[in-house]
């Protein structure tokens, strides 16, 4: 059944993808066993990603925003972007290692483009005797990763393991563990974090760049109010959803977790990490701005248009003020996590600690202001 469903889904033209999502969601919510529903999610996840050669591509308006507003936050901690973040702290862990051949683990590697860039970066700073284990559910993506590693001259330094990280059992210890935009796909976060915590060597670091907002990448009510106010000010040309291929005259607070694992437990990533790890670094950012710079609506905005740039500047300012005031919590974070016996202080951006960034589903979301 699952194999047939995957083959049929792959043949569907683009305009049928949104109806397919609705149909699949209703199937998942029917009277199927938990095991069958999980297997259906696995099948959907593989269909979504096995043909994606570019997983992290984003519209130009995102790069306008990130270079103007996100880059300075990274630079205050010695790096300039997520790739540089992984390289900086992975290199630090390898330099502190007593292992003759340090090993890194990447969880949810996909096409392994991040891992190839990381390996090349480590070699460029004089670190050569290491191995990166790349774990992913999708065999086709790992095959592309293997080809990419070969073309980059990294044969032997990247290993490829097909596995479901919801069921992962780690049998060795690592100098560094990397998770790049993968944790929001994990159902069994507690199990995974327990495995990582046990597998990290004492000097090891768990490096994370991920989404920490509401499940399914929905907006919490306090953020939704702001999105809807901004939505009302936009022309229809700015309201076309490029991913679902539909015009949204009224903003739809879409739940992306209804088909595969996209954002399935995003809101639990940070609180679960806080129970398993200590934080060496935490930089939280974004919320309302996500809607206007992502793959769905971001292509509607011209990064070279002064009016569009002014609108993005305005939305960013709303986010920053509301997060600082405690009325919003961030939806993204880069994190350097350490084992539970880490005794160092947490470095964070502008007073926003991990504890301040957790949005309790049982509350209104309004919290005391962040202390700079």
> What is the value of pTM for the model shown?
0.86
Which pLDDT value is given to residue 257?
84
pLDDT of amino acid 267? 97
What would the pLDDT profile of 192-224 be if each residue is shown by its tens digit? 999 999 999 999 999 999 999 999 999 999 999
- Residue 155: predicted pLDDT: 87
CB 263 within 8 A of CB 215: yes
Cα gap 133→39, rounded to integer Å: 25
* Cα gap 219→316, rounded to integer Å: 16
Please name the residues in contact with 196: beta carbons below 8 A apart, sequence gap of 6 or more. 107, 170, 177, 206, 276
Kindly give, in sequence order, each residue whose CB lies less than 8 Å from that of residue 302, ignoring residues fewer than 6 positions away. Answer: 60, 61, 308
CB 106 within 8 A of CB 135: yes
Task: Check residue 137 and give its pLDDT.
Answer: 87
CB 120 within 8 A of CB 152: yes
| Domain chopping of the chain, boundaries | 1-52, 60-108+165-216+259-357
CATH domain 60-108+165-216+259-357 topology: Rossmann fold (3.40.50)
The pLDDT of residue 2 is 44
Low-confidence ranges of the chain (pLDDT < 50): 1-17, 23, 49, 51-55
Q: Using CA atoms, how far apart are residues 264 and 285, in angstroms rounded to an integer? A: 20
């Amino acid at each position: 059944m699952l194999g047939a469903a995957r083959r049929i889904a792959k043949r569907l033209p683009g305009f049928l993808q949104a109806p397919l999502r609705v149909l699949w969601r209703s199937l998942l919510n029917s009277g199927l066993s938990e095991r069958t529903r999980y297997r259906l999610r696995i099948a959907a996840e593989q269909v979504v990603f096995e043909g994606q050669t570019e997983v992290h591509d984003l519209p130009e308006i995102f790069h306008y925003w990130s270079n103007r507003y996100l880059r300075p936050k990274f630079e205050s901690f010695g790096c300039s972007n997520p790739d540089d973040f992984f390289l900086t702290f992975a290199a630090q862990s390898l330099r502190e290692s007593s292992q003759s051949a340090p090993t890194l683990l990447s969880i949810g590697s996909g096409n392994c483009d991040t891992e190839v860039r990381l390996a090349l970066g480590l070699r460029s700073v004089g670190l050569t005797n290491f191995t990166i284990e790349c774990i992913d559910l999708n065999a086709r993506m790992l095959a592309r990763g293997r080809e990419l590693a070969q073309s980059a001259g990294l044969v032997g330094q990247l290993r490829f393991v097909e596995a479901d990280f919801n069921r992962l059992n780690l049998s060795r210890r690592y100098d560094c563990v990397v998770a790049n935009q993968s944790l929001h796909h994990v159902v069994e976060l507690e199990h995974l974090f327990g495995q990582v915590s046990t597998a990290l060597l004492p000097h090891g670091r768990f490096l994370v760049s991920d989404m920490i907002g509401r499940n399914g990448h929905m907006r919490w009510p306090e953020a939704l109010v702001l999105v809807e106010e901004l939505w009302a000010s936009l022309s229809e040309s700015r309201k076309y959803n490029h991913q679902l291929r539909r015009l949204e005259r009224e903003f739809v607070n879409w739940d992306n977790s209804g088909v595969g694992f996209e954002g399935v437990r995003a809101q639990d990533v940070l609180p679960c990490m806080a129970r398993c790890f200590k934080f060496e670094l935490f930089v939280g950012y974004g919320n309302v701005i996500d809607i206007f710079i992502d793959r769905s609506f971001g292509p509607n905005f011209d990064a070279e248009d002064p009016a569009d740039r002014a609108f993005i500047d305005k939305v960013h300012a709303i986010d920053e003020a509301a997060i600082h005031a405690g009325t919003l919590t961030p939806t993204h974070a880069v994190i350097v996590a350490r084992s539970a016996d880490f005794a160092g202080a947490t470095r964070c951006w502008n007073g926003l600690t991990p504890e301040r960034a957790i949005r309790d589903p049982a509350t209104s979301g309004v919290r005391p202001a962040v202390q700079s």
